[in-house]
Amino acid sequence: MAKSKKKNVKQTLRLERTSKDLARVLGISEGACRSWLRKEGLGVGIGGRYKFSETEAKRIIRRLQAEHGDMRIAVYPGSFDPVTCGHLDVIERAANVFDKVIVAVLENSDKKHFFSTKAREDMIKRLELPPNVEVGIFGGLLVDFMKKHGAKILIKGLRAVSDYEYECQMAWINNKLMPECDTFFVPTSEEYAYLSSSIVREIAKFNGDLTGLAPKELHETIYGGLNGRCRTN
């Protein structure tokens, strides 16, 4: 009897889904997902969880995809230490092409950054970004982050021919790990071809003018971080 009860508990857990789970798979807002689930007459269970079979889950996903279309979700990864006008240029251009762009801030304990991971994420979130742009943090394999967010497209900015060889290698590796992953190269705009985070840090360290190099609303944060010798992971 106890064995049967244990089996039923496992089955119940397997049938539980949340609107957030489905929304993440589809790349749509959780609000839109909840609205459609209500139309289907699926009430919210304990803890905001819905219970339905795998077949029902697939039916819900197919209906939501038919209603909202298959979204093209792209991930733009980087250290952004700090974010520059060149980064912002790539973000805005990618947002004009893809349905959703996720700016993925690298968290790497093996590499020393001048700004903490949270500070780098917060700086990007403070910018006036297109409405279809989100910001997140990732560690480990980039393809795992992509799978988690239902993305199949990588965005990489190219400043010079020297960037191309390395980025091609990374594109091949990511495609090997995730065959459905495609990398789109975005050549930087001419006015930012020379620009990098390290250049911005070096200028800020000596209180140089960051106009046209880093977003204006971040100047004080960058000056404060660099002149305070802020070196954290």
* Closest C-alpha among 106, 101, 110, 100 to residue 78: 106
Residue 64 has which token pair?
Answer: 């939501």
Q: How many residues does the structure list for the chain? A: 233
Catalytic residue among 87, 100, 156, 201: 87
What are the start-end ranges of the H helices in the chain?
A: 2-15, 19-26, 30-39, 54-68, 85-95, 117-125, 142-148, 161-177, 197-205, 219-227
159 is catalytic: yes
Beta bridge partners of 77: 104
Q: Is 52 left (phi over 0), alpha (psi -120 to 50) or beta?
A: beta
Catalytic residue among 14, 38, 39, 111: 111
Which residue has tokens 């959780």? Answer: 30
Catalytic residue among 159, 196, 205, 219: 159
Q: Measure the CA–CA gap between 165 and 103, rounded to whole angstroms.
A: 23
111 is catalytic: yes
* DSSP single-letter state for residue 65: H
Mind giving me the DSSP string for 144-189?
A: HHHHHTT--EEEEEE-SHHHHHHHHHHHHHHHHH-TT-EEEEEEPP
Residue 182 has which token pair?
Answer: 């495609």
Catalytic residue among 113, 149, 156, 197: 197
Q: Residues 194, 231, 144, 174: is their CA dihedral positive or negative?
A: positive
As annotated, the active-site residues are: 87, 111, 159, 197
